[in-house]
Amino acid sequence: MTYRYGDNRLPQIVIIGAGFAGLELVKRLNNTPYRVVLLDKHNYHTFQPLLYQIASAGLTAESIAYPLRRKIGSFPNVIFRVAEVTSVNTESKKVQTNIGDFDYDYLVIATGATTNFYSNDQLAKLTYTLKSVPEALEMRSAILKQLEAAVQVAKKQDEHPLNFVIVGGGPTGVELAGALAEIKKNVLPADYRELDPSKMEIHLIEGAPRILPTMQEGSSAKAKRYLEKMGVQVWLNAIVKDYTGKQLVLANDKTIAADHVIWTAGVKGATLPGIPAETIGKGNKYRTNRFNQLIGFENIFVLGDIATIEGDGNYPNGHPGVAQVALQQAKQLAGNFTRLHQQKPLKPFAYKDLGSMATIGRHKAVVELPFISFGGYLAWYVWMFIHLMALVGFRNRFMVFVNWMWNYFMYDRAHRIILNNSGKS
């Protein structure tokens, strides 16, 4: 069955993916002379920068996931379907899904990124990842189960080390390492009195010469000092070769004992079957021109982490994988759809860097703005405020604020419930 909705005189835009780019574009296409179809395999939008707080028991899943229909339900020209895209037929202009086919006049691909294991199937099978709410909940359960298992062998803690290993020193890895260090400091002494907190080890593995390699060297150095002060062992220039399920093996053949390894080391584009292979470039991302059009197609646009804009001299290796890129591209494309309707020339995308930041723990963060860089208390408060305001919906902001205040005053991560009894094998 092929679906086409609303007034047939209006062109139909199909948007695949309800991440930052997809949802922002839908909001800006509300009440425009287009029929808009939003497709996503989940019925909610995820605020990915805070997934690590679900994994570390600081927040509930509901506080960073927002129901899509609540946001777009009142938009008269927009419909949403929970669907998994199986293929795209660019000749017949159809998006094929598990619930049927959708015609499009214009297609927008905003599928984001997925974890890159660099062709190592063992790592893909045995490590934990953090790209979605289900993965965050699985990781939280794995962390808590590891603590429970450690209690059972508390008297043999030297024989059964309580090690947590995070591979990848980008913002996600750094923030998760800091969160685990706060669990070690505040949760273990209160809830796991049989364990010696000093025996819990947190290892952060980074293949580059410094953590947070996309930020300035000063910010990287501050973050490293913060982590080491919190008891995290930071490994630099350390390339992972393999993981056996019990031992992480580095390229220099050094090993780290670890029952659980968290992989945040790389991403690649989440491409779709049916899109010509010649449009895929470095990082498994789609190649686009400066109007976000897929190379070779005037009616297919690509936004966010899945896109690499060619011909942008300021970013020859692609734009950073941050929410601001996706949001700004969505805003620009919405304006270009208006220009298309008015038969005016399209405007090229130009990214405005608003800065970057990472939090390490209580009163510890680094912030880089276009005009200043700083760390410590102020950076931590700025990080919290910006992330709080960026959440979708007042209810989510309120829930996150209440949880943060509880954690701040009570030194407690309250959402320590094991929901998933399965695990990596």
The last residue of a domain, from among 265, 281, 304: 265
Residue 16 belongs to some domain of the structure: yes
pLDDT(425) > 70:
no
Residues 261 and 273 both lie in one domain:
no
Report residue 421's pLDDT band, with 50, 70 and 90 as the boundaries.
low
- What is the residue range of 233's domain? 121-265
pLDDT at 416 over 80: no
Whether residue 243 is found in the same domain as residue 127: yes
CA angle 58, 63, 66 (to 5 degrees): 150
Share of the chain above pLDDT 90, in %: 70
Q: Are residues 15 and 88 in the same domain?
A: yes
Q: Last residue of some domain: 206, 236, 265? A: 265
Q: What's the pLDDT at 151?
A: 87
Q: Which of 158, 156, 157, 176 is nearest to 166 (CA)?
A: 176
Active site residue 175: yes
pLDDT of the residue at 89: 96
Phi, psi of 115 (to 5 degrees): -70, 140
What CA dihedral angle connects 349, 50, 221 and 252, to 10 degrees?
Answer: -100
Confidence band, pLDDT 50/70/90 cuts, at residue 331: very high
Domain stop point among 245, 265, 285: 265
pLDDT per residue over 183-230, tens digit each? 999 988 988 888 888 889 999 999 999 999 989 999 999 999 999 999
116 in Cβ contact with 268 (< 8 Å)? yes
Q: Tokens 């290993």 — which residue?
A: 165
378-395 pLDDT, tens digit per residue, is 999 999 999 988 888 888
Mean pLDDT of 172-176: 96
253 and 272 co-located in one domain: no
Instruction: Count the domains in the chain.
Output: 2
What is the per-residue burial (b if ≥16 Cβ within 10 Å, else e) of 127-161?
Answer: bbbbbbbebbbbbbbbbbbbbeebeeeeeebeebe
In a domain, 50, yes or no: no
Residues 101/8, Cβ–Cβ less than 8 Å: no
> Which contacts (CB < 8 Å, 24+ apart) does range 225-228 have?
226/178, 226/360, 226/361, 226/364, 226/375, 227/174, 227/177, 227/178, 227/181, 227/360
Q: Which domain CATH number covers 99?
A: 3.50.50.60
pLDDT band at 3 (very low <50, low <70, confident <90, very high): low
Give yes or no: residues 108 and 153 share one domain: no
92 and 12, same structural domain?
Answer: yes
Q: What is the pLDDT of residues 12-57, one digit of tens each?
A: 999 999 999 999 999 999 999 999 999 999 999 999 999 999 999 8
| 310-297-344 Cα angle (round to 5) | 85
Whole-number pLDDT of residue 24: 96
pLDDT for 284 beyond 70: yes
- Active-site pick, 175, 182, 206, 368: 175
Q: Whole-prediction pTM value?
A: 0.91
pLDDT value at residue 191:
87
